[in-house]
């Protein structure tokens, strides 16, 4: 049956389509390239960054970044994986929305040299705004380790609400770590900067 003739309640959008290029006041968010491997490896080899992420091994090498990029750029994953870059195309982080276990999950990280300047709130806010325009009925899930106050603050500013607390394994710490689970209903999204 043609989706165009289904009643609105029966239409389910399973994909937001290809990842876009998004420009913000200070950043360009774009699909990744294999040439981003060195910048990714430099950032994720910094333990202060990696310790806040669940699936990043330590040590982290350029080959790890290339392996990850091959999967992200192949176009086989239901995900938007966007490079966060400065206006002169310096790779400083990522914002990723991926479909896992039937739910959309948000993940992100930023090179430590760019922390505490509002870049991640700006980047994540822009990606969520574009994603929710394409997927207006979607609840976005996220979270952070309980000691990652910067990430939890980004989520709070954008309208995420705490939904649960649990333990999650951190590969870089090689330990279970307290984790705060969050979710964002589309109507709760606050524009970045407010």
Q: How far is CA 68 from CA 37, 81, 97, 124, in A?
A: 9, 11, 15, 21
Parallel, antiparallel or unpaired: strands 27-31 and 22-23: antiparallel
Residue 159 within any structural domain of the chain: no
**Per-residue pLDDT for the chain (194 aa), expressed as one digit of tens each?**
444 454 444 445 578 999 999 999 999 999 999 999 999 999 999 999 999 999 999 999 999 999 999 999 888 888 999 999 998 999 999 999 999 999 999 999 999 999 999 999 999 999 999 999 999 999 999 999 999 999 999 999 999 999 999 999 999 999 999 999 999 999 999 987 54
- Domain residues for 35? 19-138
**Would you give the DSSP letter of residue 30?**
E
Residue 152 within any structural domain of the chain: no
Residue 64 within any structural domain of the chain: yes
Residue 192, CB-side half-sphere exposure with 13 Å CA sphere: 18
pTM of the model: 0.90
pLDDT score, position 2: 44
pLDDT score, position 74: 87
Residue 193 within any structural domain of the chain: no
Q: Read off the pLDDT of residues 76-112 as tens digits, 9 standing for 90 and up.
A: 888 999 999 998 999 999 999 999 999 999 999 999 9
User: Two tokens at 101?
Assistant: 């276990």
pLDDT score, position 8: 47
Residue 62 within any structural domain of the chain: yes
User: 9: burial class by Cβ within 10 Å (0-12, 13-18, 19+)?
Assistant: exposed
> Could you tell me where the beta strands, DSSP code E, fall in the chain?
22-23, 27-31, 79-86, 91-100, 103-110, 140-145, 161-170, 175-184
Residue 6 within any structural domain of the chain: no
The domain that contains 106 carries what CATH number?
A: 3.40.630.30
pLDDT score, position 3: 45
Residue 52 within any structural domain of the chain: yes
Residue 180 within any structural domain of the chain: no
Total number of domains in the chain: 1
């Amino acid at each position: 049956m043609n989706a165009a003739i289904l009643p609105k309640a029966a239409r389910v959008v399973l994909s937001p389509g290809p990842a876009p290029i998004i420009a913000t006041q200070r950043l360009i968010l774009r699909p990744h390239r294999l040439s981003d491997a060195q910048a990714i490896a430099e950032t994720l080899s910094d333990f202060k960054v990696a310790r806040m992420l669940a699936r990043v091994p330590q040590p982290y090498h350029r080959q790890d970044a290339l392996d990850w990029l091959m999967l992200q750029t192949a176009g086989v994953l239901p995900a938007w994986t966007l490079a966060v870059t400065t206006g002169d195309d310096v790779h400083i982080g990522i914002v990723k929305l991926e479909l896992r276990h039937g739910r959309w999950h948000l993940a992100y990280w930023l090179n430590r040299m760019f922390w505490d300047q509002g870049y991640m709130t700006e980047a994540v806010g822009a990606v969520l705004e574009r994603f929710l325009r394409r997927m207006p009925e979607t609840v976005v899930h996220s979270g952070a380790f309980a000691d990652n106050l910067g990430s939890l603050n980004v989520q709070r500013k954008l309208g995420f609400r705490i939904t649960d607390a649990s333990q999650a394994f951190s590969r870089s710490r090689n330990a279970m770590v307290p984790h705060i689970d969050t979710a964002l209903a589309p109507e709760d999204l606050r524009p970045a900067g407010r």
